[in-house]
Amino acid sequence: METDILLDIKGLSVSFETDEGRVQALDSVDFQVGLGQTLGLVGESGCGKSVTALSIMRLLPKPVGKITSGRIHFQGKDLLELSADGMRQVRGNEIGMIFQEPMNALNPVRTIGDQLSEVFLLHQEIGVKEAWFKSVEMLHDVGIPASDSRAFEYPHQLSGGMRQRVVIAMALACRPKLVIADEPTTALDVTVQAQILELLQTLQKQLGSSVLLITHDLGVIAETCDEVCVMYAGRIVERASTVELFANPRHAYTRGLLSSIPRLDRIPKTELSTIDGMVPGLSDLNQGCRFAPRSGKVHPQALLDQRSPLQEVTEGHWVESCPLCSNL
């Protein structure tokens, strides 16, 4: 069903200029986000989750970060071909973004009502008064009590959870088709995390938006996403519906991740299973199977030199087809 796809990313590669030369942060990433769907991107630090989000928004740090190949189709148009002006029309209007650390995403010297109005003033042809009125309404929608007086407050006057609500209000102000949430709850306490996730889900239902949720927390994924992409060292190694992925993880990395998290129902004080070694640095990546050094299996040179393509094992369940790291 081609028509139901909102965001279609094909062969996206991104590289960064560093002191050690060019490093590849994303290597030919493909995925689609369906209309109204929540897609989770999960992986450890440095695997390219955030770079993916920034590439979609075309916010990669210039001039070090560069999209070297691929295309990002959003509602039929290629975002990479838009002019800077055209892209500005998309950002905040059609695609909203929620950042990890709400304190850094807000301007400390302007009131929250002021910052929120800016979104309306930029994207809708309305006056300052009406924009303010809409901002107050939006703050109310994200559950900020006494929003008409709160709109006059500065970010430092709000708690972490409230600040994240403001950031969500800004991202959703123009009722975007797609919301990119980059670790929206990582900086928050569990109880506030539960509030924020609930809020996101309610608003998503109301607006019918699609969400691209980036997180390292598999618990959050399990509770909110329809489909999951597991990323490792700049690549997607496995993609499946959430239920399928948790029930039948095929890639050794996914299995390792799932079994290494401490769970409430696990027998306490027993040894946790681990993934040996550590996440590889981006400067010393091979072209073939990147999980090889941690898989505990000796890979023949051919598998280290040549990337195994993603293969669909059961319907909708894709896995990088390295014969040693995945159950095909």
Partner 1 sequence: MNAPEELLKITDLRVHFPVRGGIFRRAVGSCKAVDRVSLVLQKGQTLGLVGESGCGKSTLAKSVVKLVEPTSGSIKFKNQEIAGKKAQNNFRKNVQMVFQDPAESLNSRMTVGAILEEPLDIHHIVEKNVRSERVAELLEQVGLSRSAANRYPFEFSGGQRQRIGIARALALQPELLVLDEPVSALDVSVQSQVLNLLMDLQSKLGLTYLLIAHDLAVVKHVSDIIAVMYLGKIVEIGPAEEIYLKPAHAYTKALISAIPIPDPTKKRKRVIIPGDVPSPINPPSGCAFGHRVGSSLYPESVGKKLDMEEVSTGHFVLQCPCCT
Pick one of 59, 64, 128, 243: the residue that binds partner 1 (CB under 8 A).
243
Using rule CB under 8 A, residue 298 touches partner 1: no
Looking at residue 326, the DSSP 8-state letter turns out to be B
| β-strands 310-314, 95-98 pairing | unpaired
**Cβ 125 to partner 1 shortest distance, Å:** 37
- DSSP E strands: which ranges in 185-249? 210-215, 227-232, 235-241
Residue 23 in contact with partner 1, rule: CB under 8 A: no
Residue type for position 214: I
149 is a contact residue toward partner 1 (CB under 8 A): no
Out of 268, 284, 301, 315, name the contact with partner 1 by CB under 8 A: 268
CB of 196 to partner 1, least distance (A): 10
Q: Which amino acid appears at position 323 of this protein? A: P
User: Per DSSP, what are the bridge partners of residue 77?
Assistant: 74
Out of 194, 207, 285, 304, name the contact with partner 1 by CB under 8 A: 194
Interface with partner 1, residue 328, by CB under 8 A: no
φ, ψ of residue 10 to 5 degrees: the values are -130, 125
- How many angstroms separate the CA atoms of 165 and 160, rounded? 9
Residue 242: CB atoms within 10 A of its CB come to 19
CB atoms under 10 Å from CB of 281, counted, come to: 11
| The one among 220, 231, 236, 289 contacting partner 1 by CB under 8 A | 220
156 touching partner 1, by CB under 8 A: no
Please report how close the Cβ of residue 83 comes to partner 1 at its closest, in angstroms: 38
> Of residues 17, 20, 223, 305, which one binds partner 1 by CB under 8 A?
223
Nearest to 325 by CA among 274, 243, 255: 255
User: Under the rule (CB under 8 A), what is the footprint of partner 1?
Assistant: 44-45, 159-162, 189-195, 197-198, 216-223, 242-243, 246-247, 256-258, 260-264, 266, 268-269, 271-275, 278-279
